[in-house]
Amino acid sequence: MELRPILSTLRRHKVTSWLLVLEIALTCAIVCNAVFMIGQRLHRMNLPSGVAEHQLLQIQLGGIGPKSDADAQTETDLAALRQIPGVRQATMTNQLPFSFGSDSNGTLMLDPHQQQGTAQVAQYMGGVGLLATLGTRLIAGRDFEPGEYVDFDAAVQALHDDNTRGLPQDLIITRGLAERLWPGESALGKTVYFGKALPFRVIGVVANLARPKNHWDGVEYSTLWPIRMTSAEGASYILRTAPQDRQAVLKAAVAKLKQLDPNRVVLVKRTYDEARHEYFANDRAMAGILVGVIAALLIVTALGIVGLASFWVGQRRRTIGVRRALGATRGDILRYFLTENFLLAGFGIALGMVLAYGMNLFLMVHYELPRLPGIYFPVGAAVLWIIGQCAVLGPALRAANVPPVVATRSV
């Protein structure tokens, strides 16, 4: 196809052509960045938690007035909860991956004399059966022995006194943290330090356990501690059950806890899936808004192309007729308009790429977004070219149907 006649025609419609090019460029830039942002959100929303997501239930209680016998009460509660049909495991924990509310973190050191911590890690504490209940997979070493668990109160006191007695000696870490601390080595038997250089030995490594929040510090930097907590200290009951039994078990468990002590208030009762859904609600919302905006943009751009192409076809009816009379086939006319649109879209896309890059730089500086990966450019270009060709097809077909006899008529 000869491009020169197309280019010279476009030169006569400079402003309209430029407006179309500009529109495509802006669309291209915005869509590339918006799709990228959606990708970021989806990636976040799909982060693995490392727990048996569809099998967990969480119940958090608030007490009324001070409770002196919280430990005994917790043991009684757990024993009763384990009796409920369908409950496979039950324990208490201070937090869950991807959950709201306060989270517990500690500064880990590899050397007792370090001035600055090596990493901020999440601290999961829980009673006997913590790993089994969460469904966190042990990939090296061993789980805590029943005799190794200590009470939270005793642990806090010991931490404050800077005394290792009353504190657990061992802990379990995630694979991600192990690789961060000792790349290429086994973590088992190694020592890490918390607080004022209190040593703890790594006895086990789990495949994964995501942090409650603070993703920017490293999603997978978590530690597990054999420390028993109670509702009074803000911990929740965690039950593991078959996915289909969840609602029935949740109801039965709440009823059982109320029956054991009616003077308690249920603060939280939910499945883990609900907790996770709620946690990522903002990301889902942002992705939703962006999808809406992208759709609107592409529709508007397509409408613009249809409008201008129709106008041009109307304006050039006579010329088309003359060309047809001189022997041009319908296919020639159709190809002419498709090529013209391809060229215009090409200019727009080229300009759009530059704009997209600039916009991304702006967002990187102001909103801490990562760099736009290169793959977005060819994909964005292809999408816009296809949309352009589809949009222009209707008017082009109408042009191809102009009969040669038009050439002989005066307008």
Partner 1 sequence: MFGYYLDLALRSLKRSPGLTALMVLAIGFGVAASMTTWSVFRAVSGDPIPWKSSKLFVPQLDIWGPDSRKKGGYNDIADAFDYTDAVALMRDHRGKLQSAMYQVSPSVVPADAAKHPINVTGHAVFSEFFPMVDAPFKYGSGWSAQDDQNRSRVLVLSDKLNQKLFGDVNSVGRSVDIEGKDYRVVGVVAHWNPQPRYYDVVNTGGFVGDGAEDVFLPFNTAIDVGMPNNGNTNCNAIPKESGFVGLQHSTCVWISYMVELDNAAQVESYRNYLEGYMRQQQQAGRFNWPPKYELRVLPDWLSFEHVVPDDTKVSLLVALGLLIVCLVNTAGLLLAKFLRRSGEIGVRRALGAPRNAVYAQFLTEAGMVGAAGGVLGLLLTGVGVACVGWVLPKDIAALAKLDVSLLAMTLLVAVVATVLAGLYPTWRASRVQPAWQLKSN
Binding site for partner 1 (CB under 8 A): 15-16, 19-20, 22-23, 26-27, 29-30, 33-34, 37, 62, 64-66, 102, 107, 115-117, 153, 156-157, 159-160, 195, 262-263, 265, 267, 281-282, 284-286, 288-290, 292-293, 296-297, 299-301, 303-304, 306-308, 310-312, 314-315, 363, 367-368
CB of 163 or CB of 329, closer to partner 1: 163
CB of 72 to partner 1, least distance (A): 18
Which distant-in-sequence residues (6+ apart) come within 8 Å of 409 by Cβ? 321
User: Residue 237 in contact with residue 39, Cβ under 8 Å?
Assistant: no
CB of 105 to partner 1, least distance (A): 10
Burial letters for 148-179: b for 16+ Cβ neighbours within 10 Å, e otherwise?
ebbbbbebeebbeeeeeeebbebbbbbbbbbe
CB of 73 or CB of 89, closer to partner 1: 73
CB of 187 or CB of 305, closer to partner 1: 305
For strand 191-194 and strand 198-206, is the pairing parallel, antiparallel, or unpaired?
antiparallel
CB of 86 or CB of 195, closer to partner 1: 195
For strand 191-194 and strand 222-225, is the pairing parallel, antiparallel, or unpaired?
unpaired
CB of 160 or CB of 215, closer to partner 1: 160
What is the DSSP secondary structure assignment for residue 127, as one 8-state letter? -
CB of 44 to partner 1, least distance (A): 12
Residue of 173, 165, 51 lying closest to 106 (CA atoms): 173
**Cβ count within 10 A of residue 136:** 24
Distance (Å, rounded) from C-alpha 132 to C-alpha 224? Answer: 12
User: Residue 82 in contact with residue 181, Cβ under 8 Å?
Assistant: no
CB of 16 or CB of 389, closer to partner 1: 16
Distance (Å, rounded) from C-alpha 202 to C-alpha 187? Answer: 7
Distance (Å, rounded) from C-alpha 215 to C-alpha 103? Answer: 12
CB of 358 to partner 1, least distance (A): 12
CB of 244 to partner 1, least distance (A): 27
What is the DSSP secondary structure assignment for residue 94, as one 8-state letter? S
What are the two backbone dihedrals, phi and then psi, of residue 341, each rounded to the nearest 5 degrees?
-65, -40
CB of 87 or CB of 384, closer to partner 1: 384
CB of 408 to partner 1, least distance (A): 18
CB of 107 to partner 1, least distance (A): 7
CB of 291 to partner 1, least distance (A): 9
CB of 88 or CB of 277, closer to partner 1: 277
**For the chain, give me the number of helices (H) and strands (E)?**
12, 13
Q: How far is CA 54 from CA 100, 139, 173, 272, 283, in A?
A: 18, 21, 23, 7, 21
Distance (Å, rounded) from C-alpha 101 to C-alpha 118? Answer: 25
CB of 367 to partner 1, least distance (A): 5
How far is CA 203 from its chain centroid?
32
CB of 30 or CB of 181, closer to partner 1: 30
User: Residue 211 in contact with residue 173, Cβ under 8 Å?
Assistant: no
